[in-house]
Structure 1
Amino acid sequence: MIDKLDIIIADENPGFVQLLKKMCGSINGINILGVAHSERMLIAKINHVNPDLIFLDLTSGMGGIRIVDTIRKINSDLNVIVTYDPKIQDSDILVKALEMGVYECVEKPGDIESRQYNEFRLHLLTITGLLRSRKRFSNRSALNYKNKFFMPLKTADKPADKSSVPVSSMRKIDVVVVASSTGGPEILSRIFSILPGNLKVPILLVQHIPVAITQFFAKSLNDKSELDIFQASHGDEILPSKVYIAPGGQHMTVSKPDDQGKRVIRLNSRPPVNSVRPSADMLFESIARSYQGNILAIVLTGMGEDGKKGVAAMKDKGCICISQKAETCVVYGMPRAVDDAGLSDESLDPLSITQKIVMMVQ
């Protein structure tokens, strides 16, 4: 018998509510517990039922950004996905929600014939699969999982804990590359608020995030960090102590060094890789072509396997890979892919990852 996924829809727009109801009705195993048209209604429902997932619109009638904090205070384990209309919603608010622990911001589809509708439905299918797995493996304490969305493992299949095994020493690190997806903004906010501003290497980051949000996400990270963090542009020279974030909707790669050793950012709009654009694999593979070794790769929380092939390519040149520890991931997907492939040298929690970066590049 399939596990039912209990959902609350919190939205003022009756048209979108009906559209989402129709979408959920087309997916086996989803149970809509109720609809909340106001902040007051949402709080009342959360206090009386136990949903697995809330679809939340951050309009003023729903409480705006403060409702995220309210939900966390009522039940910190509630899974929240923000749905937004790009013509209305302030991107700064969406970034703040992500950094507060909202796991996804998904653009509302216009109608059932739109591209966004199919993308939304596919995303919902993935999320429901993860949450049903969580319900089937409900004894989370036995597995030592504290994350919200995760790929449950049978005890016998649980990857070996590498956190106590030190990575191999390298002469130096020339570049740090980071891959991140679902749950990443909150983790990255923590990491970059701690890293010192005098790192002697560049950091290149692929975060799967909606197109309209990337530059605001970069600004938010920059405001918290001593490093210079920004959305990358085509032709940017790659320099130490700077963090280059791949723009949403574009792949980011690195050129080969010129006669003076200068490398620059290259952007392109080629088809998605691993169903995403930007793709960590595309960045990592270009890093393998551009650098002759001394690469530090960080693979953080996220769905899917983006980054695995790229890490393998960088390993051939001389790369140390650190994956985020399973029990600290929002989604143990991308880190699990490199763990299972034997490509991770260490599996660490976010604070330890931050400390390792400082230790290896200073």
Structure 2
Amino acid sequence: MQRYGVLVVDDSAVMRKYIGLLIEKDPQLFVAGIARNGIEAIEKVQMLKPDIVTMDIEMPEMDGMTALQEIMKICSVPVIMLSNQTDKDPALAFKAMELGAVDFYLKGQLLSNDAEPEVVKDFLERLKAVAENARKKSEGGWLKKVNSESVSKMIDDILKSPGIEKEPTTKNVVDLLIIGCSTGGPAALQSTLPYFSKDTRVPILVIQHMPPGFTRALAERFDTFCNLRVKEAENGDILEPGKIYIAPAGFQTTLYRRQDGKVGLKVQESFDEKILYKPSVDITLNSAAPIYKERLLAVILTGMGNDGLEGCRAVKRYNGHVIVEAEESCVVYGMPKAVYEAGLADIQVPLPHILNSIKLYI
């Protein structure tokens, strides 16, 4: 059994104890060490070489943000931010991920007496998935490297696929783009969304797993530097070309055809306790596939689990198109892997090639 060492960084002895007890609930995880501030964290990362780090944001002497920047300079260990502050200022969480953090969690969600078991389980599973992926990268244990030559071949394969004209243009194949992602998603989205041109002719709907309250801040942040208008999706929104919609956390977002022929969004609470993710990529894709049929493109980026698998199955059932992110650029190769191994992906490419692959369709 593979085991992964976690460095716990927090200025509170009580928090370090609670976080440590939480981590060691999973037999595959163990506390490799502790640090009381950012300065100690930098020293311990180099000395202990943990598989993953949990980092508090607010600490004396050196805060978590500063320590994160320094750690990213000296090694590639994944860092997950834990904080009580991000619920008040989600911009802190997004700033941390821009600096290199792979994910963030609110301490209140994990360490309170009434913490939901599914949330705690999800946290531990993410720790293991991120650590496993990072160790695999450091050991060079990839099953297949995708170089520029193989990427060119895969893109050429798309050009030869049914329904796509190579001359004079390959565009205008789809009328809607849906992007699904989870762990590592905000950084992946930042490598993609800002680079859509102002003349993009299709709506873009993003399904990103996040805590409630964060998707509005995410949309507002992207709206400041994207060429396209970005907003958090609201119940009753009509999909408009050249606009990016971020599905709100805590709800399920589905599509429906209005009497006037336009497509609208329903944003509703989900009462199905079996559905862990709110929003769920599966639920959104399942509603979109019968509406757009072969005119739908689904893109599955980094993320843990298999949300998107059943949705992509529906997309392909209606002759739509699917792109997935390749293993070597994923923070966690879970969601894309599930779709790829099920034979549902038209193409699998690393993150730097995702945008060009999308542009073949839109």
TM-score, normalising length: structure 1: 0.87
Q: Could you tell me how far apart the structure 1 residues matched to 2:136 and 2:302 are?
A: 21
Match of 1:99 in 2: 98
Q: How does 1:223-302 map to 2 (within 5 A)?
A: 223-258=224-259, 260-270=260-270, 271=272, 274-302=275-303
Which residue of structure 1 lines up, in the alignment, with residue 187 of structure 2? 186
1:325 is matched with which residue? 326
Q: Does 1:68 align with 2:68?
A: yes
SS in 1 for 2:361: helix
Q: Segments of 4+ in structure 1 off by > 6 A?
A: none
Contact 2:86 2:92 in 1 (8 A): no
Deviation at 1:235, TM superposition (A): 0.8
Equivalent residues in 2 for 1:1-362, closer than 5 Å: 2-61=1-60, 62-75=62-75, 77-85=76-84, 90-109=89-108, 111=111, 113-116=113-116, 119-128=119-128, 131=131, 139-141=139-141, 143=143, 162=154, 165-166=157-158, 168=161, 169-170=163-164, 172-258=173-259, 260-270=260-270, 271=272, 274-361=275-362
Q: In 2, Cα distance between the equivalents of 1:225 and 1:294?
A: 24
Q: Aligned to 1:322, what secondary structure does the other structure show?
A: strand
For the Cα contact (< 8 Å) 1:9–1:56, is it kept in 2?
Answer: yes
Separation (CA, whole Å) in 2 of partners of 1:125 and 1:308: 18
1:65/1:318 CA distance change after superposition, 3 Å: same
SS of 1:254's equivalent in the other structure is: strand
Contact 2:251 2:268 in 1 (8 A): yes
For residues 291 and 123 of structure 1, what CA distance do their matches in structure 2 show?
35
Larger displacement relative to structure 2 (278-287 or 123-132): 123-132
Structure 1 residue 273: Cα displacement: 6.0
CA deviation after TM superposition for structure 1 residue 113, in Å: 3.2
Q: Alpha-carbon deviation of 1:84?
A: 1.7
Equivalents in 2 of 1:227, 1:355: separation in Å? 17
Inter-partner Cα distance in structure 2 for 1:122 and 1:295: 30
1:193 positional shift: 1.9
Q: Which moved more, 1:62-71 or 1:136-145?
A: 136-145
Q: Which residue of 2 aligns with 1:151?
A: none
Residue 213 of structure 2 aligns to a residue whose secondary structure is helix
Structure 1 window deviating more from structure 2 (339-348 vs 127-136): it is 127-136
Q: Per-residue deviation at 1:208?
A: 0.7
Select between 227-236 and 93-102 the one with higher mean Cα deviation: 93-102
Is the Cα–Cα contact under 8 Å of residues 256 and 289 in structure 1 kept in the other structure? no
How big is the alpha-carbon RMSD for the aligned residues of Structure 1 and Structure 2?
2.5
**C-alpha offsets along residues 110-161 of structure 1, whole Å, 9 cap, x if unaligned?**
6463224652244214532663586589742564579xxxxxxxxxxxxxx9
Measured in 2, the distance between the counterparts of 1:32 and 1:50 equals: 12
2:136 & 2:242 partners in 1: Cα distance?
45
Alignment CA distance shift 1:119-1:288 (3 Å): same
Task: Supply the AA of the counterpart residue of 1:35.
Answer: I
Q: Report the Cα distance in structure 2 between the residues aligned to 1:19 and 1:145, rounded to whole angstroms.
A: 40
Instruction: State the distance in 2 between where 1:256 and 1:303 align.
Output: 31
Match of 1:152 in 2: none
Per the normalisation by structure 2, the TM-score is 0.87
SS at match of 2:303: coil
Distance (whole Å) between structure 2 residues aligned to residue 118 and residue 311 of structure 1: 25
Q: Distance in 1 between matches of 2:101 and 2:273?
A: 24
The answer on whether the counterparts of 1:272 and 1:279 sit within 8 Å (CA) in structure 2 is: no
Provide the aligned length of Structure 1 versus Structure 2. Answer: 344
